[in-house]
Amino acid sequence: MQFSQFGSDNGRIVVFFHGAPGAPEECSIFDLEGKNHGLTFICLDRFSVDPSFSGEAYYKLLAAEISRIASGKPVDVVGFSIGAFVALQTFRYMTDGVGSLHLVSAAAPLEAGNYLEGMAGKQVFKLAKAAPALFILLSYWQGLLAWLSPDALFRLLFASAAGEDKALAADREFRAGITKVLKACFIGRVRGYARDIGLYVRPWKTTLAEVSVNTHIWHGAEDNWSPPLMAEYLKSAIPGCTSTKIFNGLSHYSCLYQAAPGICNLLGKA
């Protein structure tokens, strides 16, 4: 399986699970801080995995690949957005153990509360739940848009940006980075993206009782992709949750940017 590496060349291993939409390039935000704190960030190219792998077989495959890369070394895990969901599922099969788990702008189980109406991507999730075939068609349309007019896809996704995400959406460097991520996500990897969304919208809250590892939650108070109520639920449902940091004024991506140095600082001291 393909993966990207950021941060230190030979430091403490941290596995980053990117969002959906998303791509390994998201992990570049940890590159400088990773170097400063002696951390090696690894991000698997999940969407390149054969779509015939789904559900538990998919999570087991990801866990086995992480184990192969780590070669017996301890790892920490960071999950962003829907990547946090995949991280929580994969974690259950990581037999070598995980030092700590960091959930950033994490998406909680939809069946755990009335979250959908407050989510910017509610139409996508509703379609994925009610009409999976139509959702696949929508995803291919997004892939076509990412190829023909990635700027238009960016504007579509960030039309409802809230909090400090509004400022990020207007930043040229951020736009260029996210546009690259969207192209990597949707061009040639639609089935992988659709798999993660399809798995996310199914019931999975019962698996949270298995998470006893030291878990940290990082969330923006203005997040309208993963509403703050999701952070509250995860805090109550994960037995190993030891800290929750809510950033006033921040939303989804702005929370990731703010949390990255804090996560690296914690891991660098561990």
> What DSSP line would sit under 102-147, residue for residue?
EEESPPPPGGGSS-GGG-TTHHHHHHHHH-HHHHHHHHHHHHHHHH
Q: With contact defined as beta carbons under 8 Å apart, do 115 and 84 qualify?
A: no
Give the start-to-end residue ranges of the domains of the chain. 3-269
The rounded distance, in Å, linking the Cα atoms of 49 and 86 is: 14
Which are the contacts of 182, defined by CB distance < 8 A and separation ≥ 6? 21, 23, 146, 150, 153, 154, 157
Distance CA(66)–CA(186), nearest Å, equals 24
The reported pLDDT for the residue numbered 169 is: 95
The CATH homologous superfamily to which domain 3-269 belongs is Alpha/Beta hydrolase fold, catalytic domain (3.40.50.1820)
Percent of the chain with pLDDT strictly greater than 70: 100
Residue 187, classed as helix, strand or coil, is coil
Which pTM does this prediction carry? Answer: 0.97
β-pairing verdict for 75-80 and 12-17: parallel
Model pLDDT, residue 269? 82
Q: Find the range with the poorest average confidence among 50-54, 91-95, 103-107, 150-154.
A: 91-95
DSSP 207: G
* pLDDT at residue 270 is higher than 80: no
How much is the average pLDDT of 214-238?
97
Q: Would the pLDDT of 97 be above 90?
A: no
- Is pLDDT of 58 > 80? yes
Q: What is the mean pLDDT of the chain?
A: 96
More reliable by pLDDT, 269 or 210 = 210
Is the bond into 51 cis (omega within 30 degrees of 0)? Answer: no
* pLDDT average, residue stretch 56-74: 95
